Amino acid sequence: MKKTLIIGGSGFIGSFLIKELDLKKSINFDKKQSPFFPEITILGNILDEEKLDKSFKDVDSVILLAAEHKDDVSPINLYYDVNVNGTKNVLKAMDKHKVKKLIFTSSVAVYGLNKDNPDENFEVDPFNHYGKSKWQAENEIKLWYKNNNDKSITIIRPTVVFGERNRGNVYNLLKQIVLKRFVMIGDGKNKKSMAYVRNLVSFLKICNKKNKKGLNIFNYVDKPDLTMIKLVNLIRENMGYKKNNFKIPFLIGFFIGYVFDFISIITNSKLPISSVRIKKFCSRTEFSSSKLDLIFKPPYTIYEGLKKTIKYEFIDKNEIDITFESE
């Protein structure tokens, strides 16, 4: 029985993905134990070639999710060790075991900030080490494909992914609004592309079923893009709160971010506010999904995804014992 190897499946996206797959035909390789699927998990680091090699038994497709992705990874070389060298290790193992189907999750971070709705052919301009390392990993995959194009490769560039149990930036925004601590920084007219995790997983599953040879790249975005004002008001509406039009100018907000950066350094602690996060919050992060729209209709709208997340996290008051950290 041939199986799908999910590398990095113990995290947020992987946990939702594995739930949708046939467990008898799936293997999860991760440095952390899966909280939901320990019975199919092999513990190992993507940088450990020997352990990685052993996970390839009876595998005919690979979904590579593993990555260093948070804003504050230290030392910086970890981005390149894991995201680039780890990808090289996977490609080497695939050659050894004659596995020709790969689905790789990259990121819209390769485009940089404040771009004009970039599609998959847009010039790359990553602004941080995460984006740079993901772009280098993509290039390694393209070179691997060029050396032998008898393969099926799908590179997916998701925008920020949110959903139940996630503790990334979208959750932090939701929480601040729910606790009535949120203050808008900037004019709020910047648009944000987002992706609901169940929709992204649905697309990953479809890609894994296809065996068409070639190399395809897709942005993953759930449309429509929302301005920060519309997004915040939508969240407030779902919580039954009134609208609040108070705003802090961007420069003042950015200065506040630097103050928190300084506090974080002297206290050696990670804080929910930073200059990088404020810069990302106020930036335009809008991406084209025209190529994706031709072949995929997500099972949930962006509004349904937000409502489901808000309901699960803040209205139903579930006892949430397992959560996932991300940006």
Over residues 55-108, the pLDDT tens digits come to 999 999 999 999 988 766 778 898 999 999 999 999 999 999 999 999 999 999
* Domain-embedded: residue 33: yes
Instruction: Report the share of the chain in percent with pLDDT over 70.
Output: 99
* Domain-embedded: residue 136: yes
Supply 259's token pair: 């103050």
Domain at 144, CATH number: 3.40.50.720
Burial pattern 111-143, b for ≥16 Cβ within 10 A else e, equals: bbbebebbebebebebbbbbbbbbbbbbebbee
Helix (H, G, I), strand (E, B) or coil at 305: helix
pLDDT of residue 232 exceeding 80: yes
Over residues 218-229, the pLDDT tens digits come to 999 999 999 999
Question: Cα 91 to the chain's mean position, in Å?
Answer: 21
Residue pair 284/113 in contact by the 8 Å Cβ criterion: yes
Domain that holds residue 96: 3-164+192-224+287-300
- Write the DSSP symbol of residue 170: H
pLDDT of residue 207 exceeding 90: yes
Per DSSP, the residues of 75-128 read STHHHHIIIIIHHHHHHHHHHHTT--EEEEE--GGGG-SS-SS--TTSPP---S
**Which residue out of 130, 171, 196, 220 is catalytically annotated?**
130
Is 303 annotated in the active site?
A: no
* Domain-embedded: residue 171: no
* Domain-embedded: residue 122: yes
Count of other CB atoms within 10 angstroms of residue 275: 17
Q: Provide the number of structural domains found in the chain.
A: 1
* Domain-embedded: residue 65: yes
pLDDT of residue 139 exceeding 90: yes
pLDDT of residue 327: 61
Sequence-distant (6+) residues with CB within 8 A of 319 are none
* Domain-embedded: residue 40: yes
* Domain-embedded: residue 146: yes
* Domain-embedded: residue 37: yes
